[in-house]
Amino acid sequence: MSYNVQPLRTQHKINDFLFRLRRNKNAKRDVFLFLIGINSGKFVRLVDKLLRDQQLYTPPMSVIEYS
């Protein structure tokens, strides 16, 4: 099965998609997740990349116990 997935580039297409989401059984949840995703999707990817890079290049920690 092949899907042709294209980004929502215009405000009209975003509003049309929101209209369709609001007609579902879990409309509040779906709209909430869509709005969070569309407004912060790229930011989450950037934060994830920064965290992974930080883990790769952080020197290892050592624990010293004093008695």
What global pTM score does this model have?
A: 0.54
CB neighbour class for 9 (10 Å; exposed up to 12, middle 13-18, buried from 19): exposed
Query: pLDDT tens across 4-63, in order?
Result: 878 888 999 999 999 999 998 989 988 988 887 787 766 666 666 766 666 655 566 677
The number of residues making up the chain comes to 67
Rounded CA-CA distance 49/43 in Å is 10
